[in-house]
């Protein structure tokens, strides 16, 4: 087995990182947990994160009421996102899809902010609205690029990445 050489340590772009968090200290702590227990599980990480002196402490909510709210909001997201329906595509093929898509929607409020809000929208509306559909196709490509970056260290996937690049250029 070939071991990878690690040259730098940093947090993933777009990750929600507490102010002052040090990626090097976090990876060192996670590595020590793995070495001590022979595995690295969310339970072990959370237990370590309870210690105020741990570099993991700031990643967790320690107020019980706020933590419960965060947990329940996560469960609400799962209720909505775990519903799957069969959708007939334009080519007649029937494929499974989430019943609701989490997308940016223009604010319904008429003011100067013109902010968008994240909302769940029925897939039928997304498929019927050219702008929403186009935005989701663009989102799919962005997510593919993120996925590709995540797995770039596996050279075995290069043919897939090159094929996707050809498709993107032709589309």
**C-alpha torsion angle, residues 23, 29, 31, 34 (rounded to 10):** -140
- Bridge partners of 103, per DSSP, are 119
7 secondary structure, DSSP code: -
**pLDDT of amino acid 25:** 95
- Burial code (b: 16+ CB inside 10 Å, e: under 16) for 99-127 equals ebbebeeeeeeeeeeeeeeeebbebeebb
pLDDT, residue 4, reads: 61
Q: How many CB atoms lie within 10 A of CB 55?
A: 21
pLDDT averaged over 10-residue windows placed end to end, the chain, 171 residues: 69 89 95 96 97 97 96 95 92 94 74 73 92 92 92 94 89 69
pLDDT value of position 169: 84
């Amino acid at each position: 087995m070939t071991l990878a050489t690690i040259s730098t340590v940093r947090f993933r772009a777009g990750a929600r990182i507490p102010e002052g968090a040090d990626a090097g200290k976090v990876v060192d702590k996670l590595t020590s947990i793995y070495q001590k227990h022979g595995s690295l599980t969310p339970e072990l990480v959370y237990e370590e994160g309870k210690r105020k002196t741990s570099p993991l402490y700031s990643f967790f909510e320690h107020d019980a009421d706020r933590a419960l709210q965060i947990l329940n909001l996560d469960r609400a997201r799962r209720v909505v996102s775990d519903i799957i329906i069969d959708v007939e595509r334009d080519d007649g093929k029937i494929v499974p899809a989430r019943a609701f898509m989490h997308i940016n929607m223009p604010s319904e409020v008429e003011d100067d902010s013109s902010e968008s809000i994240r909302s769940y929208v029925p897939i039928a509306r997304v498929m019927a609205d050219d702008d929403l559909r186009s935005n989701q196709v663009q989102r799919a490509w962005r997510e593919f690029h993120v996925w590709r970056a995540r797995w770039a260290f596996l050279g075995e996937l290069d043919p897939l990445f090159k094929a996707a690049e050809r498709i993107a250029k032709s589309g």
